[in-house]
Amino acid sequence: MKKIDLEMLAGYVSSKELRAKQYETFEKMEPSSLMNIDLVFVDGDHSAEGARIDLLNVIEHVSVGGLLVFDDIIHPLHMYLLDVWREVMKQYPDFKVLENTMHEYGWTVALRTY
């Protein structure tokens, strides 16, 4: 399993700076290091557009048999995240999706099957 280390982000104080650095870090990574990621946990800025971008940035890189995890889908302040998740996942029939909307703020897991 590959781990993407983002410890360098710890010095950023504002979420806007952190978000900008996160995208910059992702964009600078070699495409070969992004292929076949076994586990991706998306926990971004919780805006609808930010969540959509995060999902679309990583989904093509999840390996067959790999998992994509997304949380806070029923958080009272971010109820639109479940819709964002479902809209994105409709475009990817090669993932089997499990949604948990019964516990805490909810989460989803998608297994890439082919």
Question: Is 6 within a domain?
Answer: no
Total domains in the fold of the chain: 1
Least confident of 24-38, 54-68, 78-92: 24-38
In a domain, 67, yes or no: yes
What per-residue confidence (pLDDT) applies to 81?
97
In a domain, 5, yes or no: no
> Quick check: is 4 in a domain?
no
What's the chain's average pLDDT? 82
Residue 23 lies in a domain: yes
Chain segment 94-104, per-residue pLDDT in tens: 999 999 999 89
The answer to whether position 7 is within a domain reads no
- Asked if 73 contacts 80 with a C-beta cutoff of 8 angstroms, the reply is no
Domain that holds residue 30: 13-112
Half-sphere exposure of 87 (CA within 13 A, CB side): 13
Answer whether residue 8 is part of any domain: no
